[in-house]
């Protein structure tokens, strides 16, 4: 089964399962509860929490052992190079969305980084672009839709993929089906669909390797880990959409309270795009 087919089936199943698992909106006579409900933007919360519990079980049984094995086998420098390679491989997707968002300067940085890292950085294993003043940034179709004025849609939690929204999930699917050059190559060479799977798996393990410490800290300091992840995802995505610009003043207090330790704040900042520029679950 191809990656695109699996994603289509997953979307249909999630839509069907979530249809009967909606959270009840508080009555209008309780304005504080209504405000909290709207701020969370999580009408599917019972279903999402069930998916979150499934995700945590999969994380414990499968993902963490895989990441620990990866860390044991591959030294730190090798893991860093793998991350550089995977980010470089994603450059065409970022370039498309730089253009769609009307960001010619950032598009120029993306093109320059890709050529420098590919030809001087040994296919992207070494981030030469960063060293010469071309900082990394990433864009996706969810961010482009946000720039175009499309709202988040309801929050969703997908096992293994983690927290998202209907807008960002749709954007992920569009990138995977239509924007990623590997998808086009795989459709033209049916026997080569393993390449997409290998890249997806490598990207996933690399992301978990880079963020596991921070999410463990968040879990240890949270009363409600699910709610903390939901809030952290919202704040990090908002920063990505703003291309790292500071949040509006009215949002600053909420942003500051999202991360409960200096370690988490530093980790979150490292994952956010920088100007002139990861999900963890």
Supply the range of the domain harboring residue 152. Answer: 3-73+140-271
Whole-angstrom distance, CA of residue 128 vs CA of residue 264: 28
Is 69 among the domain residues? yes
Whole-angstrom distance, CA of residue 59 vs CA of residue 212: 11
pTM score: 0.78
In eight-state DSSP terms, residue 189 is: -
Is 260 among the domain residues? yes
Is 164 among the domain residues? yes
Tens-digit pLDDT profile for the chain (281 aa)? 445 554 554 554 455 544 555 666 555 555 555 455 556 788 999 999 999 999 999 999 999 999 999 999 999 999 999 999 999 999 999 999 999 999 999 999 999 999 999 999 999 999 999 999 999 999 999 999 999 999 999 999 999 999 999 999 999 999 988 999 988 877 766 656 777 888 889 999 999 999 999 999 999 999 999 999 999 999 999 999 999 888 776 555 554 544 444 344 434 433 433 333 334 44
Give the rounded distance of the alpha carbon of 187 from its chain centre.
25
* Contact assessment for residue 242 and residue 71, using Cβ atoms and an 8 Å cutoff: no
Is 199 among the domain residues? yes
Is 132 among the domain residues? no
* Contact assessment for residue 101 and residue 107, using Cβ atoms and an 8 Å cutoff: no
Is 118 among the domain residues? no
How many structural domains compose the chain?
A: 1
| Residues 6 or more apart in contact with residue 113 via CB below 8 angstroms | 88, 91, 129, 134, 136
Is 151 among the domain residues? yes
Is 98 among the domain residues? no
């Amino acid at each position: 089964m191809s990656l695109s087919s699996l994603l289509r089936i997953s979307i249909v199943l999630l839509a069907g399962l979530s249809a009967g698992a909606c959270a009840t909106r508080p009555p209008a006579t309780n304005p504080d509860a209504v405000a909290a409900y709207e701020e969370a933007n999580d009408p599917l919360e019972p279903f999402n929490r069930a998916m979150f519990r499934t995700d945590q079980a999969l994380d414990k049984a499968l993902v963490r052992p895989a990441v620990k094995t990866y860390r044991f086998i591959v030294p730190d420098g090798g893991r860093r190079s793998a991350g550089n390679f995977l980010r470089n491989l994603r450059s065409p997707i970022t370039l498309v969305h730089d253009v769609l968002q009307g960001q010619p300067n950032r598009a120029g940085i993306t093109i320059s980084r890709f050529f420098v890292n590919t030809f001087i950085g040994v296919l992207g294993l070494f981030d030469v672009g960063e060293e010469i003043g071309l900082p990394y940034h990433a864009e996706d179709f969810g961010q482009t839709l946000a720039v175009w004025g499309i709202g988040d849609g309801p929050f969703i939690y997908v096992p293994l993929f983690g927290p998202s929204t209907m807008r960002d999930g749709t954007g992920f699917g569009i990138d995977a089906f239509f924007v990623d050059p590997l998808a086009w190559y795989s459709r033209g060479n049916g026997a080569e669909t393993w390449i997409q799977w290998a890249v997806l798996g490598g990207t996933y393990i690399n992301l978990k390797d880079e963020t596991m410490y921070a999410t463990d800290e968040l879990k240890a300091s949270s009363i409600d880990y699910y709610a903390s992840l939901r809030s952290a995802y919202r704040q990090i995505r908002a920063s990505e959409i703003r291309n790292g610009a500071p949040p509006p003043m009215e949002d600053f207090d909420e942003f500051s309270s999202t991360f409960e330790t200096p370690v988490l704040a530093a980790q979150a900042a490292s994952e956010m795009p920088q100007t002139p520029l990861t999900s963890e679950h």
